[in-house]
Structures are given as C-alpha cells and as structure tokens.
Amino acid sequence: MDRYAVLGQPVAHSKSPRIHAAFAESLGQKLLYEACEIAPDELGPSLSRFHAEGWAGFNLTVPHKQAGAALCESRSEAAEAAGAVNTLIRTATGWHGDNTDGAGLVRDLLANLGVAIKGKRVLVLGAGGAARGIVAPLLAEGPAELAISNRNPWKPEEIAAALKPLGNIVPRTHLSLKGDRYDLILNATSAGHSGAIPRLPPKLIAEGGIAYDLNYGQAAVPFLVWAKSEGAARVSDGLGMLVEQAAEAFQRWRGLRPETAAVLASLRG
Ligand SMILES: NC(=O)c1ccc[n+]([C@@H]2O[C@H](COP(=O)([O-])OP(=O)(O)OC[C@H]3O[C@@H](n4cnc5c(N)ncnc54)[C@H](OP(=O)(O)O)[C@@H]3O)[C@@H](O)[C@H]2O)c1
C-alpha cells in the first residue's frame, strides 16, 4: 500500500492525517497517511531514507517548507515562486517539490466562499513562507492591487523584487497603510499563535470588505475579532485553505481530486 506522511515539528496536532484518510475513503483509494515528527537537522537524511524505503509522498509543514525546497531534485513553478514546498512527489531518483498553499487559498476564496479577487484591492499581512506562497496565485487572479505589509519592512521589498516577473506587488509597512482601504485583507502572519495581531492603522477595511485569516482555530480569533470590530462585511478563517491545499496535494499524488465540502464540514463540526 502506498505510504504518505506529513513531516513537521511539532506535528502531533496536524489535521492532515484525518483529511487524507477521509479523501482516500471517499475515492476508494487504499493508502496509508501518518504524521512524523522530524527535527530540522534530520530532514535531509530522513528524506533519503524514506525514498529508499519506498514512500510515495510527503507534506511538509513548519519548520521544513523552505529547507525542503532545497532538498528536492526538481520543483514546480509554484514552489520556485514561493521558495518553499509543502508537497513532495516521489520520482525514480528523489523528490519533486510542489507548493499547493496558494492554489488552496485561491480555491477556498473563489469556490467555497464566493469571494472575488479580480479587480479588488488586496492586502497580505506578513511576509513569511505562507505569504510568499500565496502571492503568485493571487496575482494570477488579476487583483487591481496586491500589497504586502510586514513587521520587518525589508521582507515585502524582497518578495516584490523576487516575484517582479510575475506582476506588480506593492511592498508596504503596517504604519504606511494609514489612510488606505482594501477590499480583501489576508492575515498571513503567525501573530495569532501568541494571541496577537499585527499593529495596524484603523479604517483599513473598505466598505463591504472581507478579512481572511490563513490561521484557524484559536490562532485565527484575534485577527477575526479585530476585523469584525473594524467593520468587515465578512470574515473567514483558513480551515478551508487547509483542506483545499490537501486536496491539491492528493490530486498530484493520486491523479484524482477529492470533494472537499464534507471533509471541511466535518472538521468544522
Ligand atoms: N491554512 C493553511 O493551510 C495554512 C498554510 C500555511 C500557513 N498557515 C499559517 O500562516 C501563518 C504564517 O505561516 P508562515 O509559514 O508564513 O510563518 P513564518 O514564515 O514564520 O512567518 C511569520 C510571519 O508572521 C509575522 N509575525 C509573527 N508574529 C508577529 C506579530 N506579533 N506581529 C506582527 N507580525 C508577526 C512575521 O513577521 P516578521 O517577518 O516581522 O517576523 C512573519 O511575516 C502560520 O500561523 C501558519 O500556521 C496556514
């Protein structure tokens, strides 16, 4: 039976084994999917050993997405743009790295939530691996403007410069956002894990604007509370993105795209 796993540290909390088991069952696919705790300095040797043992594929989560990219023998365009991989696909001689986070986010916004990106002013908060992974797929949807703002002001500049061939990304700082309005604000920071939000000026959300947190569970609460208090017309956490990025990975491994609605409903339940 083909074997898959999510590799991370910590990883015990991961919902990926449950999501992939549900996908496999819904499609009648026989496979094994587990969570493996791997320390950063073990990733390279572990991937070599897993290849020799015949594993079929992996998801990488914190802290392995960027280091994993360097360990792949080839990478998709999405992985190159993101500088990070979250999905490894077995090849005869090693691992092909892909990044399905951005595709998962865009699918959650467009297909699940009915949120338009085209022609909208979009702001991404944060400039870490997740932000870098979502900007190219967001650009591809034709926003009127795509801005990135971060606590460390240099990182948005770096992302905008690195991805210039793909389109115009406007690097900003949180402070400089004062007076601007956005139709869609995406929180791609990890601040919520410590109960915080980025320090933002007031009145950032345009009338009818939408706030989306890539985090879910308790980590999404501070930003979504802030967004409601600032008048967001709609808010959403990132649980749908998690399920959709998993569906994209499943499709790359198995050639079949699972239905996601029932799995998402079950996780929310
Ligand atoms: N739903 C999903 O499927 C999904 C997928 C991927 C990631 N995520 C979530 O997205 C979040 C970001 O992931 P990542 O991989 O990009 O993490 P990362 O590479 O560690 O980047 C963290 C980002 O958060 C910012 N930040 C952290 N604490 C902050 C604070 N107190 N105030 C303001 N900014 C703060 C950092 O700013 P500085 O650069 O200034 O330090 C940086 O931009 C994580 O919480 C992760 O769980 C969700």
Divide the 269 residues of the chain into consecutive groups of 10 and give the mean pLDDT of each group.
97 97 98 98 98 98 96 97 96 98 98 98 96 96 98 97 96 98 98 97 98 97 98 98 98 98 96
Strand order, beta sheet including 121-125: 170-173, 145-150, 121-125, 182-187, 205-213, 234-236
Whether CATH 3.30.465.10 fits 102-237: no
pTM for the whole thing? Answer: 0.97
Report domain extents, the chain: 2-99+242-268, 102-237
Distance CA(238)–CA(125), nearest Å, equals 14
Distance 188 CA to ligand 1 centre (A): 5
Report whether residue 193 contacts ligand 1, using a CB cutoff of 6 Å. Answer: yes
d(CA 10, CA 51): 22
Q: Which CATH superfamily is domain 2-99+242-268 in?
A: Leucine Dehydrogenase, chain A, domain 1 (3.40.50.10860)
Q: Whose CA is nearest to atom 28 of ligand 1?
A: 191
Query: Would you call 118 a catalytic residue per the annotation?
Result: no
CA of 144 to the centre of ligand 1 (A): 24
The answer to whether 129 and 84 are in contact (CB under 8 A) is yes
Domains 2-99+242-268 and 102-237 share a fold: yes
